[in-house]
Amino acid sequence: MNELKNFSYKHVLVLGLAKSGTAAAKVLLQNNIKVRVNDYNTGENSKIVEELKSQGAEVIVGSHPISILEDIDVVVKNPGIHYDNIIVLEAINRKIPIITEVELTSMLASNHDIIGITGSNGKTTTTTLVAEMLKRSGQKMKLAGNIGVASIEVAQNLEGNEKLVLELSSFQLMGIQTFRPNVAALLNLFEAHLDYHGTVDNYNRAKMNIFKNQTESDFLIYNADDPIVREVIKEAKSTLIPFSAKTVQPDGAYVLDGEIYFKGEKIISLTEVVLVGEHNVENILAALSISILNGATKEGIQFVLKTFSGVKHRLQFVAKINERLFYNDSKATNILATQKALTSFTQPTILLAGGLDRGNSFDSLLPDLKHVKAMILFGETAPKLVGLAKKANINIVVKVKDVTEATKVAFEVSEKGDVILLSPACASWDQYKTFEERGDMFIQAVHILA
């Protein structure tokens, strides 16, 4: 079991439980650090409260009293808690450092073993591809981070010959000080999570933290087709490895005449790749760049690309019913993700969209709606999307109560050869706890139809 290194704080407040907070509290306690835990939503009699108390933690739940900051040296904040939280604001006022458990991860594992992947879209697909490519090439690795398992929990048990492959969100990256992956990837940057970060610049700055501590001995894989990414990586001190689906990149990965190359060596033909979507070409280029730098073989990469058909909820093929193709892209929680999903198809498409209203205008979707024959809309943003459909001259527009009803209505108005695509362009939290729950409702509705 790995121990925390270079951790100078003696009394820690873990703010918020869930996966990352619980994991952070346990690791800190096991390293004989004094821990106070505060969570607003957890009940006093819950199992986790009893467990943490038995391990020596002071636990305060059900409220956020300012007194919990007394004698605290550092706050380990759950990434989902906003920076306008009363305790966070007071900690900032008192100049108490605020970090996330990702910062602790770098104190448990050597930076040479850490791979960090971020971007507005494509993180999970790219991270999963890297894991599969390394595994198929005989490399030992563990997967963690925003993909579902707390990074600190995995890092604590990382063995000397294992790589730690991390999917990292802007929420996680905002709370780091010394975290330094040996190989980092910045896939793209698009206006997102402004309800959390406040401004586009704050959001971009959070993403840039993935490379802020890197040196020349580290690597930064970046999207040379994204103008914002090209601009922000000018601040990087790392060795730069570009990837591009549009232009030849002699020092990185690229596509030329339907073939994928890395530094001039042909890796595979696009016709052999199973994963659909132009945006997934970018994810593939990033993934193979990361994987090659970490010892993946050409044969291992080829096998994965010939067999990997996608991650659940990310342009996932669900079923073919009466010549209609159903795709679940519930992970499309912003406009860019839906744009990329729409450009993956040329067939007549019925789009299921809607969800939490974050104040966005959806007009940037207009150019991508040319082959959309119907829109079935739900959630808070349904009225806005009705307006978008009118601008796009889409004749079939139906407002429904939820994804389950949307699936049924989409099938009713569809014809043979149509694609029925759930790609909401919005977060799920107005109706569903997570995008996974929303996607599962769609899958269940499709299976009922079948």
301 and 322 belong to one structural domain: no
Question: pLDDT by residue (tens digit) across 418-431?
Answer: 999 999 999 999 99
Of 12-16, 76-80, 179-183, least confident by mean pLDDT is: 76-80
222 and 243 belong to one structural domain: yes
133 and 222 belong to one structural domain: yes
159 and 265 belong to one structural domain: yes
Q: Which two tokens stand for residue 251?
A: 């020092």
> Residue 449 corresponds to which amino acid?
L
Residue 364 reports pLDDT greater than 90: yes
| Percent residues over pLDDT 90 in the chain | 86
Domain count, the chain: 3
Question: pLDDT by residue (tens digit) across 157-200?
Answer: 999 889 999 999 999 999 899 999 999 999 999 876 767 777 88
147 and 280 belong to one structural domain: yes
Asked whether residue 256 is domain-assigned, the answer is: yes
Give the separation between CA 9 and CA 17, rounded to whole angstroms.
20
Question: pLDDT by residue (tens digit) across 382-413?
Answer: 999 999 999 999 999 999 999 999 999 999 99
| Percent residues over pLDDT 70 in the chain | 99
Mean pLDDT to the nearest integer, 82-108: 95
SS3 content of the chain, % helix, strand, coil (to 5): 35, 20, 40
pLDDT of the residue at 303: 97
78 and 111 belong to one structural domain: no
pLDDT of the residue at 253: 98
125 and 266 belong to one structural domain: yes
168 and 213 belong to one structural domain: yes
**CATH number of the domain that 137 lies in?**
3.40.1190.10
User: Considering 252, 287, 307, which residue would you say is the last residue of a domain?
Assistant: 307
User: Considering 287, 307, 327, which residue would you say is the last residue of a domain?
Assistant: 307
List the domain range (segments joined by +) for residue 333.
316-449
146 and 215 belong to one structural domain: yes
Q: What pTM does this model have?
A: 0.79
Of 128-137, 313-322, 343-352, least confident by mean pLDDT is: 313-322
Mean pLDDT to the nearest integer, 202-210: 95
**190 in Cβ contact with 222 (< 8 Å):** no
User: Considering 72, 99, 126, which residue would you say is the last residue of a domain?
Assistant: 99
The total of other beta-carbon atoms located within 10 Å of residue 263's CB is 13
Asked whether residue 44 is domain-assigned, the answer is: yes
pLDDT of the residue at 25: 97
Give the separation between CA 85 and CA 213, rounded to whole angstroms.
27
267 and 347 belong to one structural domain: no
95 and 107 belong to one structural domain: no
